[in-house]
């Protein structure tokens, strides 16, 4: 099987599956559970063995869903989950409170809770979801390393961090992977992070490699975003910005059609070609889209084609930031 390494511990299929949208984020209460589990099982049939979730997705219910779907296939899969937000139990159920929390005791409590919700004995990859400016990264990673030593976690990762933070963390304990948004329309990791990961032997895991569905041509109007869809609050998905950004997607669709693939496949193949340490995790709630995404791993692109695709959609051509100001302030710390 064609595999890529995330650090020294994990060997995974080049395309993983982001599971968030199965139950969180994109409105309408998520996906039907049976359909979600069918999608998870189909992914494994296709060779996918890397699945991404987090305690905050729901909160909690995405981990429960992923665990239910993947426990019967545990020997075939690697499961990543994340901590770092303030999620608390209330009489009405779990709720996310404002702010971040990466205190060592909290990291441990989330790991133990995630193990129970997933119904597994070890978390394959445990990420800090966002850097907590109130807690030195060395303290947080030190506790994560202790979880590795205790056998509760196989490998540790960081999400949306700066190169400086990665280097500090990696000096405490090897970091297996950094997760950040990366796609044709979000190139921030090219300003040092990809080079640092390559240098340190750290895997890089792009989330939203298809621009939260936009680069796949699935969204033509803000009216398509249902009530509760968090993309409604993202600047790039404001009505006036969608209108401007559609021109970039039209160029991608035209080139993809000429090459006999979908726009999503071309965008994903471009991300995959940026390095053999890169493992994107596009989300999918439909088996057909999942199958297309997995097939993108087999698309070979020449240097000339990569340059052509990379020039079709560039961040300077895109209207709107990827997050609002508050969420952007939590990235690249």
Say which of 26, 28, 57, 127 is annotated catalytic: 57
Write the pLDDT tens digit of every residue in 48-93: 999 999 999 999 999 999 999 999 999 999 999 999 999 998 998 9
Among candidates 199, 148, 195, 142, which has minimal Cα distance to 171? 142
Residue 308 lies in a domain: no
Q: Identify the CATH number of the domain in which residue 85 sits.
A: 3.20.20.100
pLDDT at 29: 64
pLDDT at 1: 62
Burial classification of residue 147, based on how many CB atoms lie within 10 Å of its CB (0-12 exposed, 13-18 middle, 19 or more buried): buried
Residue 116 lies in a domain: yes
pLDDT at 160: 98
51's tokens: 């699945």
pTM higher than 0.85: yes
User: Structurally, how many domains does the chain consist of?
Assistant: 1
The continuous run of DSSP H or E covering 292 comes out as helix 287-295
Show the domain range for 42.
Answer: 4-214+271-299
Among candidates 125, 129, 123, 197, which has minimal Cα distance to 163? 197
Neighbours of 246 (CB within 10 A): 15
Residues of the chain with pLDDT under 70: 1, 28-29
Is residue 57 part of the annotated active site? The answer reads yes
Residue 307 lies in a domain: no
Residue 257 lies in a domain: no
Residue 156 lies in a domain: yes
pLDDT at 141: 98
Residue 234 lies in a domain: no
Rounded alpha-carbon distances, angstroms, from residue 15 to 211, 260, 282, 317: 16, 20, 8, 27
273's tokens: 């070609």
């Amino acid at each position: 099987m064609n595999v890529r390494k995330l650090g020294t511990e994990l060997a995974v299929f080049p395309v993983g599956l982001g599971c968030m949208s199965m139950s969180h984020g994109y409105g309408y209460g998520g996906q039907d559970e049976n359909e979600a589990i069918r999608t998870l099982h189909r992914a494994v049939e296709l060779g996918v063995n890397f699945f991404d979730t987090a305690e905050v997705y729901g909160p909690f219910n995405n981990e429960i869903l992923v665990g239910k779907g993947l426990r019967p296939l545990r020997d075939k899969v690697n499961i990543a989950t994340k901590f770092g937000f303030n999620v608390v139990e209330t009489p009405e159920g779990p709720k996310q409170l404002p702010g971040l929390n990466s205190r060592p005791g909290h990291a441990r409590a989330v790991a133990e809770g995630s193990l129970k919700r997933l119904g597994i004995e070890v978390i394959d990859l445990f990420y800090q979801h966002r850097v907590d400016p109130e807690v030195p990264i060395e303290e947080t990673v030190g506790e994560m390393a202790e979880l590795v030593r205790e056998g509760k976690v196989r490998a540790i990762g960081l999400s949306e961090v700066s190169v400086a933070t990665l280097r500090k963390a990696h000096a405490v304990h090897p970091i297996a992977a950094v997760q950040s948004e990366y796609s044709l329309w979000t190139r921030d990791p090219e300003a040092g992070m990809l080079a640092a990961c390559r240098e340190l032997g750290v895997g890089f895991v792009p989330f939203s490699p298809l621009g939260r569905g936009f680069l796949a041509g699935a969204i033509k109007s803000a009216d398509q975003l249902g009530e509760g869809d968090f993309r409604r609050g993202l600047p790039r998905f404001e009505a006036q910005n969608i209108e401007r950004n559609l021109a970039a997607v039209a160029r991608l669709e035209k080139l993809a059609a000429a090459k006999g693939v979908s726009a999503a496949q071309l965008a994903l193949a471009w991300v995959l070609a940026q390095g053999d340490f890169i493992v994107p995790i596009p989300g999918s709630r439909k088996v057909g889209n999942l199958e297309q995404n997995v097939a993108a791993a087999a698309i070979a692109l020449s240097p000339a084609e990569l340059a052509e695709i990379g020039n079709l959609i560039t961040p300077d051509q895109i209207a709107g930031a990827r997050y609002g100001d508050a969420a952007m302030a939590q990235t690249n710390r």
